[in-house]
Amino acid sequence: MTKNFLWKLAIIVGITLFFLFGIFGVPKSFSRQGLLAAVSDHIHLGLDLSGGTHLILQVQVNDAVNVVAQNAMEVLKEQLRNRKIDYSDVTQPDQQNNPDHLVLKGMQPAARSDLLSIVQEKLPEYDVTGGPDNSWNLSMKPSSLSDLKTKAVGQAIETIRNRVDALGVSEPTIEQHGAGGQYQILVQLPGVDDFGRVKDLIQSTAMLEIKQSLGGPYPSEQAAMQDKGGIIPADAVLLPGHTMPGAESEGQAWYFVSRISAVSGKDLRDAQPSRDPNGQPSVTFSLTGDGGQRFFSFTSAHVGDSLAVVLDNKVQEVANIKEPIRDQGSISGGRMSEQQAKDLSMILRSGALPASIKYLSEETVGPSLGAESIRSGVQATVIGMVAVLIFMLIYYRGAGINADLALIMNLIILLGFLGWSSIAGVNIALTLPGIAGVILTVGMGVDSNVLIFERIREELRNGKTPPSAVEQGFSHAWITIVDTHVTTIVSAAILFIFGTGPVKGFATTLTFGLLANLFTAVFVSRFIFDWVLSRHQRGQALSI
């Protein structure tokens, strides 16, 4: 055997062993159970095969824009007061559809330069244009608005991932979905079928704020307004909440709290479930160094006043400040269960969502359905593979063995690729459409061999010698094989870019299967033909 044969054989054997390791690794035993366990450890199954929850979410990015706009309004009002500039009002005309658009009313034209200075220094993300009747329009710059919405989606993905990781889900998929302007997120949680709890954990904003309590509890919103003469103080907001222990009646109450927070969720360092002095479930939280220092300064200046713990714009707890507090606090009340305390602490640790979430698609796949899909998919693959192998042996005789070996190696490479992807942490799971991609790859492999073998037969009928017929068969069929494979790979790439998880699984297995087929149908099959011809006597016919 020449050196040319030896290095080709070494490449084929090395690639085969490499991908066999990707499939099996080092099995604990070579029994049937041991090999199956090794395969399941290396080739991870997708949601449709293992069971779990599939969600498509849409981030309501206008919520994030609205928060920034509200802050901009407060900054603008404060700066106008500091510069003693008269104005009548600052509003958001269309908070639903254009939350970034603000209108300043009643400011005289002489103050235009001061307004431009305020916006340039304090609100650089806004543009200012004049309007009718001494009004001024402030709109967020398109680039700033686009960046804000994109960051909202990215922050939502990170927050959801933190919450899902805390659930202990194995290999979840959490990524941006669809076109960029749709602001959608794909969430796939294999093995998770408690959809209600998952939904609550994902969509909860869990925005924590600690504010000064300025009045309450009031039995109703009307009673609270009457106590303040029908006008909410400029530095206060009216929020609903729970009645506190010791109240005459239980139910919802209303509180006036300061508009500005002493500390907020971004100042949290940790949150853990615990129990309050009455033995009821609660959540204990600690603050960062900077947050703790600000909290200490605030409580030092308000000893004897009341403090309100506000969660998602609802007062959870009100307590008197007996002494300065530095970096510890707790959330209790509301008849919190132990599971709710655990979930709330986990949500607080993961951070608040930047905007609310809308559910566009909700699917739950049971593990029994996934197991049935595996059986059906494997059965279809085995039956199809065996039928193809038998056909090639019958129709192409000795050359059929060549084709069968190439097809088997193609399957080894494809499954080994899936195994190595999990080893490398890329997380390419085998889905039910992915199994369809494997079956289609087998068909494409047969098609490639048929193109080559029929071309070789044609050259033999034209009187060519077997070596010449093999040479001409491969050289002429090569262009056609490449053309069909490239067009199919382009189609698979489009499916991967615009498809969801299972469709991406189909596109992935099909693409790599086609790349593997180019190697096996051309390089491996050609090597086998050359090796067979090297052992033939001169003039001996080729079995094809």
In this model, does residue 328 exceed pLDDT 90?
Answer: no
When pLDDT is cut at 50, 70 and 90, the band that residue 250 belongs to is: low
Among 27-31, 158-162, 415-419, the minimum mean pLDDT is found in 27-31
Return the top range by mean pLDDT from 69-78, 138-147, 359-368, 382-391: 138-147
Residues 6+ apart with CB under 8 A from 485: 444, 448, 514, 515, 517, 518
Report the mean per-residue pLDDT for the chain: 84
Looking at residue 368, its pLDDT comes to 61
Question: Quick one: average pLDDT of 86-105?
Answer: 89
Among 161-175, 236-250, 432-446, the minimum mean pLDDT is found in 236-250
Q: How far apart are CA 213 and CA 13, in angstroms?
A: 75
- Identify the bridge partners of residue 284 per DSSP, sorted by sequence position: 272, 330
Q: How far apart are CA 454 and CA 338, in angstroms?
A: 71
When pLDDT is cut at 50, 70 and 90, the band that residue 120 belongs to is: very high
In this model, does residue 366 exceed pLDDT 80?
Answer: no
In this model, does residue 140 exceed pLDDT 90?
Answer: yes
Distances (CA, A) of 15 to 21, 159, 180, 409: 10, 41, 39, 9
Per residue in 442-454, pLDDT tens?
A: 888 888 888 899 9
In this model, does residue 373 exceed pLDDT 80?
Answer: no
In this model, does residue 143 exceed pLDDT 90?
Answer: yes
Tell me the pTM: 0.59
Amino acid letter, 537: Q
Q: What's the number of CA atoms in the CB half-sphere (13 Å) around residue 469?
A: 21
Looking at residue 397, its pLDDT comes to 86
In this model, does residue 244 exceed pLDDT 60?
Answer: no
Looking at residue 188, its pLDDT comes to 83
Return the top range by mean pLDDT from 37-51, 114-128, 230-244: 114-128
Looking at residue 46, its pLDDT comes to 73
Percent of the chain scoring above 90 in pLDDT: 17
In this model, does residue 248 exceed pLDDT 80?
Answer: no
Amino acid letter, 479: I
Percent of the chain scoring above 70 in pLDDT: 93
Looking at residue 333, its pLDDT comes to 59
Residues 6+ apart with CB under 8 A from 354: 59, 63, 64, 67, 151, 152, 155, 156, 159
Per residue in 167-224, pLDDT tens?
A: 777 667 888 887 667 899 988 887 776 777 787 778 776 677 889 999 989 989 999 9
Per residue in 484-505, pLDDT tens?
A: 889 999 998 898 887 766 677 7
